[in-house]
Amino acid sequence: MIISKTPLRMSFFGGGSDLKDYWENSSLGYGSVISTALDMYVYIMVNKRFDDKIRLVYFGNELVDNVDDVKHDIIRSALKLAHIDKGIEIIYSADLPMTGVGVGLSSSSALAVGVMNALHAYKGEYVTAEQLAKEACHIEIDCVGQRIGIQDQYAVAYGGFRRYRFYSDGNVQAEPIVCNKKNIMNLKKNLMMFYTGKGRDSRKIMAEQTKSIEKEMSHLDELVRSVDAAYDHLANGDIDFWGHKLGETWEIKKQLAGGISNPDIDDMYTRAKKAGALGGKILGAGGGGFMLLYVPEDKQENVKNELMEFKLIDFEFEPMGSRIVFMED
């Protein structure tokens, strides 16, 4: 039996610049994001079956004779990539709502990375975070056909608080944020995350955003520049810059595709700002899921009371990426 544990992620700046249509053609030469892994996880348990069937347990259940009959597209593609076609059981669980829609914390990429990590371990193979990220990108983009970016796969494979750069030649740099630990701790103290109660199909939003990239290059360039600015201000201890910049980049992000925001999200965000938030954004592609807010500590009780109908989520930053936490013959 093998169990993998893969963190979810929180993305701050640069979202959208991880789309291939952008970083292949960017005048800056790369796309870039800042994100952190979270202490919320996807768990994959893999075990050998006594027969040749394939059994899957997730928010659905499957028992099939052939890998081609597996309905779960990510797990089916992972099994094929690992050259496993029979006699296996895979159980998927997570520290967040397990539904067929996304919530903005990269659960589908964490699944792809986590299942590949578990399958490699099942075969007695060790693989790097870079390989796991590349394989997850291949599964989600090439095999399943999702028109999405590549930041999530790297963020959950590597873990930690990092700046990523996606170069036009296809190389990816995963650089740890290097600064006074106190600055990162102060940043964390000023962040609040609320669950909107709404899921969304991020694939539709990302597909529309992909179509508009050519005419939105200047906006995406600005989002990339915000990454380096945020990095520098964090290193200098100017934490409030992140709050104001989150709000500025959220306004830019909303222009990239329809469905990124909606009247309910706009109302929630406006109420949070009036209660003391300096800025914020919807995590992930938008449309629902989790809202991240930057709120000075002395205003947090006001924001909590104003948004009392929404679930406030406790979280910590996670320094580690996907790993194997249990292995037994």
Domain shared by 272 and 157, yes or no: no
Domain shared by 241 and 149, yes or no: no
Domain shared by 23 and 153, yes or no: yes
Q: Is residue 300 part of a domain?
A: yes
What pairing do the DSSP bridges indicate for beta strands 88-94 and 54-57? parallel
In order, the DSSP letters of 82-117 are TT--SSEEEEEEESS--SSSB-SS-HHHHHHHHHHH
Domain shared by 151 and 284, yes or no: no
Q: Is residue 225 part of a domain?
A: yes
- What is the amino acid identity at position 39? D
Residues in the chain predicted with pLDDT less than 50, given as ranges, are: none
**Of the candidates 67, 61, 69, the residue with the CA atom closest to the CA atom of residue 92:** 61
Q: Give the Cα separation of 52 and 66 in Å (integer).
A: 9
Domain shared by 77 and 220, yes or no: no
Domain shared by 240 and 119, yes or no: no
Q: Give the Cα separation of 7 and 40 in Å (integer).
A: 6
What is the gyration radius of the CA atoms in the chain, in angstroms? Answer: 20
Q: Is residue 329 part of a domain?
A: no
- In a 3-state reduction of DSSP, which class is residue 327? strand
Domain shared by 88 and 102, yes or no: yes
Single residue among 137, 158, 178 that ends a domain in this structure? 178
**pLDDT at res. 169:** 94
Q: What is the pLDDT of residues 216-235, one digit of tens each?
A: 899 999 999 999 999 999 99
Domain that holds residue 67: 2-178
Quote the number of domains for the chain. 2
Residue 229 sits in a domain whose CATH number is: 3.30.70.890
**pLDDT at res. 195:** 93
Single residue among 178, 195, 221 that ends a domain in this structure? 178
**pLDDT at res. 327:** 95
Q: Is residue 326 part of a domain?
A: no
Domain shared by 173 and 189, yes or no: no
Q: Is residue 322 part of a domain?
A: no
Q: Tokens 């995350």 appear where?
A: 193
Q: Is residue 161 part of a domain?
A: yes
Containing H/E element for 6?
strand 2-13
Burial of 90 (0-12, 13-18, 19+ CB in 10 A): buried
Q: Is residue 325 part of a domain?
A: no
Q: Is residue 10 part of a domain?
A: yes
**pLDDT at res. 203:** 57
Single residue among 137, 154, 178 that ends a domain in this structure? 178
Domain shared by 191 and 162, yes or no: no
Residue 111 sits in a domain whose CATH number is: 3.30.230.10
The length of the chain in residues reads 329
